[in-house]
Chains A and B, each alone.
Chain A
Amino acid sequence: MLARALAAALAAATLAYPASAQDAYVIGVTGALTGPAAGTNGPPIEGLRLYVDRLNAAGGINGKKIQLTVLDDQGEPSKAAANAKRLLTQDNVSLLVLSSLSSTFAPVIAETRRANVALMLMGAVCPKEVYPPADLLQFCTTAYAGGYDSRATLAFIKETAKEPVRIGFAAMAIPLSRGEIDYAEEQAKAMGMTPVDKEVIPPSTADYTPFATKLKDANPNWIFSWAPWVTQVKTFEALRRLGWEGDYITWAHIEAESELARLKDGKFYVIGANSLFQDNLPIHKQIIEEAKKANIRYPAEQMTEGWIGGLVLEAVLKAGGWPADAAKIRAAMENVKVDTQGLRGGAIEWSKDNHFRTRQYYRVYRWDPAKSAVAVTKDWVAYDVK
């Protein structure tokens, strides 16, 4: 019985999966399409799909189509590991794309090492390994990245604040967010600011007011939060409800644009590496149009991350030529420069020892009450990545 069930299941698994088409680039994607992280990690995958469909409709790359195989890992490490194994060993993908919670990184990286296939992180936070000297197999197109984000934010605060800065911090109780906020606290001290309070908030919080009360009681004039959007914005809203009137700066996740318009608060800043759709660049119009055509389930302005991933993918595959195996694609990734067409402050450039980008650009937006619109508060500032 055991054997029969197992054999039947495995036979089904093999039969339903025909050997991947030999005349297409086979790219695997694993990401959190369902589960608690889906709101953040789903849209980038949708954006990538949008871009690849457009490419394929236009005849593909080097005359070959791209076959994108997407699997859902629900943000669970074990599921992500199994997905990676399946994509790498059964579908023989020549590049793996990951858009999921950071807890899935370790197992997926382990699988890509075993298969010696490059891993591109897109829409999921960039791990330290992509900074110089970069890990052989890990690449990252995601906007946000530990360390640089805090530095850029604190520099902005220092520049904008008119009086001595008493700074408060809010993190989510996940290791990544906590680590970054701890780093920011140290940096702030070194820059002559006074850290007054740091709240680490569990993801499953029913009411943010108790945390906000503590922050407010410490009486900061600035607060910095680097966490998933839920924590960032709910803490802010709770603070405002308590009557706190200071400046609040936070990372511009994909939800930022619609949220700025919803909150309409002149002292709520978002810092990010992606341009918002209010800029109305040609590329933005194009994305909106494509999203409408494909009937995407998420707002068009959340497609940026995926679109950038698509741009990079296109450049890499073009350089990789045909036929392209995993090794060739990996080699192509080490020497690529992608024009982001205004979606970012500048190009994404990867080299042998830098798999992040040689320059990271930051921009700050906020709601401008006078104009009653989202406006750029501080234009692109570039940081060299060394």
Chain B
Amino acid sequence: MSRSPRASGYFRTSYDQDLALVQTRLERTSLGVFIAALLAFPLIASPFQLDLACQVFLASIGALSLMLLTGYAGQISLGHAGLLAAGAFTVGILFRETNAPFWITLPAAAAVGGLLGIIFGLPSLRLRGLYLAVSTLALHFVVIYLGGEYEARRGFSTGIVVDPPKLGGVSITDARAWYFILLGAAAATLLVCLNLLRARTGRAWRALRTRETVAEALGIGVASYKLLAFVISSAVTAVAGALFAYYRGFVSVEAFSLFLTIQYLAMVIIGGMGSLLGALLGAIFVTLFPYIIEIGLLALPGAQRHASLLFAVNYAAFGLVMILFLMFEPLGLVGMWRRMQNYFLLWPFKHRRAGGSRG
């Protein structure tokens, strides 16, 4: 991982130190505090807040996997909702048809996702940029069509209901339990991503994104690494879809519209391309933002009287904020975060020293 040097002189003296994920004491303590806060959160939160947190975790998993693909390997996909749907439908269909428990359906979802990843990824061997994006979009429609056909043929007209997963005979329905499960899943995804990116795979992906020809000259198997990016990202996405199915207790094609893909794209772009932190920040922002405007608008006097107007404003506001973000903060939330960090690092000075060593 390339990391910017600290303001204070922290120098690594051994390879172990260079490899460690958490390096300084400050990092260790702040991480500790952060984890403690995350663990303590369910004790004070209301069920609605827990639900929001769970939504954020689910979104984080999806955003991280999209970030791997788009932000690091440089492959644009508009099929993200299709992949989520594939994972969710794997759970729904397996549950309905064979009553399979979660320890079968989740790996199955991952496998289906991986398989679809190969299919979604095949065009990438030939196509780039916009054209790749559109071909994945086409696949999105195919997945949704198949899901819709299954629903209609089997008579699940209002969606497939999925019972909560059972662990040792006990159904997991408690909101707090779900909080920890999804938190764990999101943390695991983050760790997997971090480690993938520090290893050969991550370096190959970054090389791919920067310039394919050079990557090939460096001896990187372009085709296989592209496919690998699609397979890993898709498998993770499908698992996120599967978790969604269990968490919400239902699956239906309407939940996986193109708008969902757009939301995930917004997460990685608003968060900041090429940064895992960006994916997390983007997931938080895009998930919570509509609720925040909604709450703000509802707090206006007489708001309830004009609910239909109000929600149209809410809908438009999401678009407006996204535009403003894209126009005025091209580096995304991560850019803002880094600027803030620098501000404190450099204080009381305003700018870095020109040229020479940094920090």
A and B found bound together: yes
Which label, helix, strand, loop or mixed, suits the secondary structure of the A interface?
helix
In the complex, are the beta carbons of A33 and B308 less than 8 A apart?
yes
The answer, yes or no, to whether A13 is at the interface (CB within 8 Å) is yes
The answer, yes or no, to whether B49 is at the interface (CB within 8 Å) is yes
In the complex, are the beta carbons of A297 and B308 less than 8 A apart?
yes
Report chain B residues within 8 Å CB of A206. Answer: none
CB contact between B46 and one of A14, A78, A102 (< 8 Å): that residue: A14
The answer, yes or no, to whether B123 is at the interface (CB within 8 Å) is no
The answer, yes or no, to whether A6 is at the interface (CB within 8 Å) is yes
Complex Cα–Cα for A72 and B305 (A): 14
CB contact between B281 and one of A5, A53, A69, A107 (< 8 Å): that residue: A5
Tell me, rounded to whole Å, the shortest Cβ–Cβ distance linking B141 to chain A. Answer: 11
The answer, yes or no, to whether B161 is at the interface (CB within 8 Å) is yes
Known: A82-B55, A106-B159, A179-B152. A77 touches B252 (CB 8 A): yes
Complex Cα–Cα for A82 and B290 (A): 12
Complex Cα–Cα for A52 and B39 (A): 43
The answer, yes or no, to whether B109 is at the interface (CB within 8 Å) is no
In the complex, are the beta carbons of A176 and B157 less than 8 A apart?
yes
Q: In the complex, identify which listed stretch (A41-49, A219-227, A264-272) lies at the interface while the others stay far away.
A: A41-49
Complex Cα–Cα for A107 and B49 (A): 18
Complex Cα–Cα for A68 and B307 (A): 11
Complex Cα–Cα for A12 and B280 (A): 20
In the complex, are the beta carbons of A175 and B148 less than 8 A apart?
yes
Of the four ranges (under 10, 10 to 19, 20 to 34, 35 or more), the interface on chain A belongs to 35 or more
The answer, yes or no, to whether B23 is at the interface (CB within 8 Å) is no
In the complex, are the beta carbons of B281 and A2 less than 8 A apart?
yes
Report chain B residues within 8 Å CB of A176. Answer: 157-158
The answer, yes or no, to whether B213 is at the interface (CB within 8 Å) is no
Complex Cα–Cα for A127 and B56 (A): 31
In the complex, are the beta carbons of B305 and A49 less than 8 A apart?
yes
Known: A70-B307, A89-B47, A297-B308. A106 touches B161 (CB 8 A): yes
In the complex, are the beta carbons of A12 and B295 less than 8 A apart?
yes
Task: Give the residues from 13 to 61 in chain A that come closer than 8 angstroms, CB to CB, to chain B.
Answer: 13-14, 16-17, 33-35, 38, 42, 45-46, 49, 53
Tell me, rounded to whole Å, the shortest Cβ–Cβ distance linking A328 to chain B. Answer: 22
Known: A76-B257, A107-B248. A13 touches B291 (CB 8 A): yes
* Nearest A residue (CB) for B255: A77
In the complex, are the beta carbons of A106 and B250 less than 8 A apart?
yes
In the complex, are the beta carbons of B37 and A175 less than 8 A apart?
no
In the complex, are the beta carbons of B46 and A89 less than 8 A apart?
yes
Q: Which residues of A are at the interface with B, using a C-beta cutoff of 8 A?
A: 1-3, 5-7, 9-10, 12-14, 16-17, 33-35, 38, 42, 45-46, 49, 53, 68-72, 74-78, 81-82, 85-86, 89-90, 101-103, 105-107, 110, 114, 127, 173-176, 178-179, 297
